[in-house]
A and B are shown apart, each in its own frame.
Chain A
């Protein structure tokens, strides 16, 4: 398996009904789009202008707009709206339908899926942290993706590791030089979170009951599930190249043949 990280210009926006042209997916491949959620608000010139793109908001369903309106802070409302609009453009492009026509359902713990019937099956998963989102898409299998902002507000990462990580993970983080412990923690966290998101269980699956590798990169980074190394070998758990300042991972219970990482056009991050 190999990763490709094309520059944004390799995927110029196509002004079709979706407005975006994501990479073609072959069997076993996963598309992972990096979306800059604040690109629109950072780019608008005049102070006091509406910082949420009206075009993005217009793609959302009534219930999504209502959900956006429930956020207490403009920043969270804006990022949710831009992320959901990007998701609709990408999923719409893969299914060849207008973004605003998509209907999403939600599993018990809130994981969204495409509700309406389409010609091709499609799985997706979304993660966002600070001003970056990753949107992962597969035609073939369930996936989980996670991205974390390294400078996020969580201060007590060692206390979290002590309480929640497996003994081996904890030991590796604690034995590392102080200046690398935080990075190792986030490497561990993103991999665990991607796995949990692929299973759809969320935090009800205790974090210390499966173990991930803290190697800098790799594709088989799940070491064991409840001490079962054979069960872990069925999984792909892949380190993703993320925007500087972030770490990310992708997981699937199936073998991921190839990850096509690409940047969602900032002109459309709206």
Chain B
């Protein structure tokens, strides 16, 4: 998966958590929590969804890497580069 594919996948996961929200204006650099009302439980939902879709296990001490879209894609890119996009 390319960084663009990973970004699309994260948007898809966010939309599954908040289906009524239009995320087209979400910016990559600022933290998710500065742009959306995402709390700890939503955050764990994202981690769970990554595990469900791609069997990615993220240790607690690395959760801070998922603060923004930019940092999330950078963190996941080496892990997901050889993976195919889930259908």
A→B interface (CB under 8 Å): 67, 70-73, 75-76, 79, 129, 148, 152-154, 156, 159-160, 163-164, 189, 193, 202-206
Contact = CB atoms under 8 A, between A and B. Distances in A.
Interface string B1-29: 00000000000000001110101011000
Contacts of B48: 156, 159-160, 163
Interface residues of B, number: 25
A67 B41 contact: no
For chain B, what secondary structure do more than half of its interface residues adopt (helix, strand, loop), or is it mixed? helix
A78 to B, nearest CB: 11
A160 B45 CA distance: 8
Interface of B: 17-19, 21, 23, 25-26, 30, 34-37, 39-45, 48, 51, 60-61, 63-64
Contact of A154 (B26, B37, B42, B63): B42
B36 A153 contact: no
A67 B40 contact: no
B35 A154 contact: no
Contact of A206 (B37, B39, B60): B60
A204 B63 contact: yes
B50 to A, nearest CB: 12
B64 A70 contact: no
* Nearest 7 pairs of A and B residues by beta carbon: A76-B37, A70-B34, A206-B60, A72-B35, A154-B41, A203-B63, A72-B25
A156 B61 CA distance: 23
Nearest to B63: A203
